[in-house]
Amino acid sequence: MIRVVLAEDHAVVRAGIQRLLAATDDISVVGLAADGNEAIDLVRECEPDVVVMDLSMPNLDGIAATRVITNDHEEVRVLVLTSHSDRDRILDAFDAGATGYFLKDADPEDLAKAVRSAARGETPVDPRAASVLLARREAARPATDLTDREMDVLVLVAEGLPNKLIARKLGISEKTVKTHLTHVFQRIGVSDRTQAALWAHRVGLVRRTDRARIEDG
């Protein structure tokens, strides 16, 4: 069962999302918060797997609350659920440590899928939010924005390797691979490994020298 804390300041909206998630067989809402401070307290008390986080809330907003939660509880995933689809808000949320970003008018089934995806450590992003990032980016971000290890992981993703083989090849854990991939997705503005692989090929990141460096290292 996926344990969820729901942070939303509007009571009617909060109740609707609670009912939606409670109607599933594998998601349990274990705490309800009306602002960021309450969300932080509930994470400590309830030990959820996922926090569904609104951004615009009184006292402490969702960005600040996300930053505190992800810093203090590395195992907890934060899925932003908001009406804001502007690029700066999306990037701020990911910079604060959010795992995913969804819009409130998303299909109910898609929201439940996003919660499950976040619980697995994946990076669910509403297609409309992803399109905002892609449309407003004038050119692909330079590969120098990535650390050496992030570049290693991205090259191997572009080669078609699954996380387990990437971890084995680089001598790191699968969890670390997933963390690097989350950072890669954020920095290059994509929402999944397929888009990341296409980006790597498009900007010429996957070269024989890169592969040789990984194999030799």
Q: What are phi and psi of 183, to 5 degrees?
A: -65, -40
User: Looking at the DSSP assignment, which residues form a beta bridge with residue 27?
Assistant: 2
pLDDT digits (tens, 9 = 90+) for 194-215: 888 877 777 766 643 344 444 4
CATH classification (class only), 143-216: mainly alpha
Q: Give span(s): CATH 3.40.50.2300, the chain.
A: 2-136
pLDDT of residue 6: 98
pLDDT of residue 140: 45
pLDDT digits (tens, 9 = 90+) for 19-64: 999 999 999 999 999 999 999 999 999 999 999 999 999 999 999 9
pLDDT of residue 159: 83
Give the residue from 184, 183, 164, 160 showing the smallest Cα distance to 174.
Answer: 164
Question: Is a pLDDT exceeding 70 seen at residue 177?
Answer: yes
- CA 146 to CA 189: how far, in whole Å? 12
CATH superfamily of the domain spanning 2-136: Response regulator (3.40.50.2300)
Q: What is the pTM of this model?
A: 0.65
- CA 109 to CA 168: how far, in whole Å? 35
Q: Give span(s): CATH 1.10.10.10, the chain.
A: 143-216
